[in-house]
Chains A and B, each alone.
Chain A
């Protein structure tokens, strides 16, 4: 038993050291991103002037994670944008000009996202559709702000993604999702007593929860239990569920991702607790968890801007075109956001009478005003409008899981 205390002491020291290194790692990435920003800001002015005089076609750039952990999101955006551009070109283009599209991969890394932006700028991009994820969008928006490049993120939901006036988004912001969820539950009288389980270590989850809590007061239902978990402690949810059950919650709101939600559903089932579960867009994907018993998700509701099962002509045609072009893959809400994004760009170009020979900065100025004047009937809502802050106004759709598939809730 020699060196007993020493070994334990060293172990703890080592564990802490690893923890600290992990911390340093992420800070370092942040630093690189910032210094990169400073470097490329200097060179951006030349690039902006050199591309101005080309003319002839509009060039739209897409940035997103085409490979890596969020590849499903990035490739959906790139694929759907291509479909929209092909349709528009076949129908005579935007404002009479043909459109070119180019997608660059950022692998869900904000530094690579900025690199991708610079690559696209060299190519002659005039409009940016991206980035797909919040962190990358925020990093790139520092660049687009400097260049005064028009930026429309299809799916960056964090508040800061559109903090500059040249940036707009297609999806709901995090707070808007919480508010919309509370309004939906209130208007449809789904429950009087509501429990919440959220991830306090995640910006998305706690952001949605806070606005949900604020709006709940106006909607005539009561939040009887609000329990958190953290990213380090997300296997056992028995306490959170038991508290909701003891408090008599008839509906449990889960503003979290589907990975944890699949565990919560399984544990609630073993506890014989069967409230209505209600999620946001992060819940989209629960049916695709490998080997997941979809009967556990029966009756689960989620607020999402898009359902591939909708029967309106626009959705049916889009889903068919997407499946035909991409080997039968069913488009998700990211694809829908992207498709609507391209059409929003088209509408704004035509409203402002923009032509490809204008400078990037002039295009952006024209787009900024035009975006607030257009109304787009898209896949994610009819009559989407934007205000100058960059936020869309649209009607969310609730989807319910029935017989192992998504169906529109009435």
Chain B
């Protein structure tokens, strides 16, 4: 029982990371209706910023996170303006999707060029080691608790922002009907820019927590967690903010438990099978709403 609890806590820890990444994914998808495949690489850029500020320049972690948030926000908004906006009117949604994959490779290779291929060891931004239960048998790491707390905070913040502010209302309107929103006097370009700014800032925070939990940094650090978080977002219902949180946690727990009780080699196969099953059985995910198309 105790070992099951230990594995469960590992699952929560991995799931909380997926959840925080999936929040950024789902936010951008929900409003801009595009899958930003470069999200994982924004995370990686954020990690390198923190690494440079904290480990190379020796400044406190808070400074690193602030710089990373600013850099990622600028990067996200610029990417949107340069690479995605010109394609927004394209006849096929595939155009912008392929561009996103291109941006992802561009960022990875740029990082390879600037920071090199060598693995860098990341210093955790969280110094708290966590709590120990059951006489030292069960340990919950500080970074796991902080990640879950931060995910919940972000969840509440996003819900309040979207439902209570003018900009949030504009986002909802844009997500429902871009044409009608324009007619109602909403600046669609500005709204989508704000969405990307928030999504990218979340990527920087997710990066700080990802690399604190798994302290190894390469130009490909963000790629796989990014894809897993995408699966988590689909599982929870892509576009749904609470769905991303639930999807991330569920996916992390499934991954760790399948690795424990089925096979350590097959866990990825199981995770992606879940994606396929969800798409077949309930394409809208756990919390996704099925909206009828009106003519």
Contacts and interface: CB of A to CB of B under 8 A. Distances in A.
Contacts of A259: 119, 216, 218
Interface stretch (B68-76, B79-87, B90-98): B90-98
B139 A272 contact: yes
Nearest to B263: A228
B283 A4 contact: yes
Given A4-B283, A233-B224, A289-B121, A263 B10 contact: no
B129 interface: yes
A236 B55 contact: no
A11 interface: yes
Interface string B33-70: 10100000000000000010001000000000000000
A2 B293 CA distance: 6
Interface residues of B, number: 51
B3 A246 contact: yes
A18 B102 CA distance: 11
A19 to B, nearest CB: 11
B131 interface: no
Given A1-B293, A263-B215, A239 B283 contact: no
A238 B10 contact: yes
Interface in B1-47: 3, 6-7, 10, 13-14, 33, 35
Interface string A232-247: 1101101110110010
A227 B263 CA distance: 9
B256 A291 contact: no
Q: Which of B121, B259, B275, B293 has the most CB of A within 10 A?
A: B121
B244 interface: no
A12 B118 CA distance: 31
A235 B225 contact: yes
A271 B141 CA distance: 8
Nearest to A8: B279
A270 B140 CA distance: 10
A11 B97 CA distance: 7
A14 B120 contact: no
Contact of A239 (B98, B264, B279, B284): B264
Interface in B212-270: 214-216, 218, 224-225, 227, 234, 238-239, 256, 259-260, 264-265, 267-268
Nearest to A242: B6
A14 B10 contact: no
Q: Which of A8, A243, A262, A270 has the most CB of B within 10 A?
A: A270
B51 A291 contact: yes
Contact of A243 (B101, B238, B260, B289): B260
A343 interface: no
Nearest to A7: B93
Q: Which of B35, B122, B139, B264 has the most CB of A within 10 A?
A: B264
8 contacts: A15-B227, A230-B268, A233-B224, A236-B214, A239-B256, A266-B121, A266-B216, A290-B121
Interface of A: 1-8, 10-12, 14-15, 18, 69, 200, 227-230, 232-233, 235-236, 238-240, 242-243, 246, 259-260, 262-263, 266-267, 270-272, 289-293
